[in-house]
């Protein structure tokens, strides 16, 4: 089955790049700080970055002392930017879907994935390959869209008052695990919804121990700067997980 590669759609690519360049984006304010808070000491470590995108994270890992980084992505457009703007002798970029990492013939101390797992259908297959690629005691750290987001596919996500203020989240079909399609810059952006229990149990069954999970929420400082982020108390945008190879 062909792997989704929405990031090479020019309209989607341009819209996504603009969001990532916004200092106040949810990625910059919540997802990346949470993901980075789970990183071990990277000095001398070998890292595999799944869905490396523009390569900014790879450069950050170099600054944190990593010895070697392999960044993979399915998008040629993303990797063009990565090679142009975030190149280093310690970084190798590969054009490859996440489902094909079993073909990589080396071991890593850390496997990291930022907001890419929810685009993968074969979650258990990817976990199996990650487990094989990790050295003993290695860690897998990933972020994804929150399961209360991935289950949403149609209709208004929020119930609002007469002034348009969000009162509560409209949640339906959380227990129906499936491929969903949504409109985000373009039509038919595919994601895969899995319940919390599925995510946790699949990790355990693949040979991982759950170390920590984070659902990032705004503190007083963030709320003072971005008051609209109070919506996250209804539904966090992200789930961030650290798991260790048993």
- Predicted local distance difference test score (pLDDT) of residue 191: 85
Please tell me which residue, 18 or 48, carries the higher pLDDT value.
48
19 pLDDT band (50/70/90 cuts)? low
Q: What is the mean pLDDT of the chain?
A: 89
- Predicted local distance difference test score (pLDDT) of residue 117: 95
Q: Domain of residue 13: give its range.
A: 6-149+157-245
- Predicted local distance difference test score (pLDDT) of residue 1: 45
Please tell me which residue, 4 or 76, carries the higher pLDDT value.
76
CATH number of the domain to which 106 belongs: 3.40.50.150
Buried residues in 91-116 as b, exposed as e (16+ CB within 10 A): bebeebbbbebeebeeebbbbbbbbb
Q: Kind of pairing, strands 134-145 and 238-245?
A: antiparallel
- Predicted local distance difference test score (pLDDT) of residue 154: 78
96 pLDDT band (50/70/90 cuts)? very high
- Predicted local distance difference test score (pLDDT) of residue 26: 85
Q: Kindly state whether residue 113 falls inside one of the protein's structural domains.
A: yes
Q: Kindly state whether residue 1 falls inside one of the protein's structural domains.
A: no
Structurally, the chain folds into a number of domains equal to 1
Q: Kindly state whether residue 131 falls inside one of the protein's structural domains.
A: yes
């Amino acid at each position: 089955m062909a792997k989704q590669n929405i990031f090479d759609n020019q309209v989607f690519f341009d819209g996504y790049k603009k969001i990532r360049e916004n200092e106040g984006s949810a990625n910059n304010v919540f997802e990346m700080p949470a993901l980075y808070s789970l990183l071990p000491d990277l000095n001398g470590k070998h890292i595999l970055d799944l869905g490396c995108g523009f390569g900014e994270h790879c450069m950050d890992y170099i600054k944190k002392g990593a010895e070697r980084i392999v960044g993979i992505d399915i998008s040629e457009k993303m990797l063009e930017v990565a090679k142009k703007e975030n190149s280093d002798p310690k970084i190798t970029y590969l054009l490859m879907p996440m489902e094909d990492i079993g073909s990589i013939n080396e071991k890593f101390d850390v496997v990291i994935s930022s907001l890419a797992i929810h685009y993968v259908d074969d979650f258990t297959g990817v976990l199996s390959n990650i487990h094989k690629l990790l050295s003993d005691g290695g860690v897998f750290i990933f972020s994804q869209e929150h399961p209360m987001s991935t289950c949403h596919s149609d209709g208004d996500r929020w119930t609002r008052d007469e002034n348009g203020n969000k009162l509560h989240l409209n949640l339906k079909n959380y227990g129906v695990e499936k491929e969903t399609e949504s409109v985000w810059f373009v039509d038919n952006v595919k994601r895969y919804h899995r319940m919390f229990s599925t995510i946790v149990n699949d990790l355990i069954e693949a040979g991982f121990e759950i170390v920590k999970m984070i659902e990032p929420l705004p503190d007083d400082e963030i709320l003072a700067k971005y008051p609209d982020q109070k919506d996250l108390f209804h539904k966090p945008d992200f789930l961030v997980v650290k798991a260790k190879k048993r």
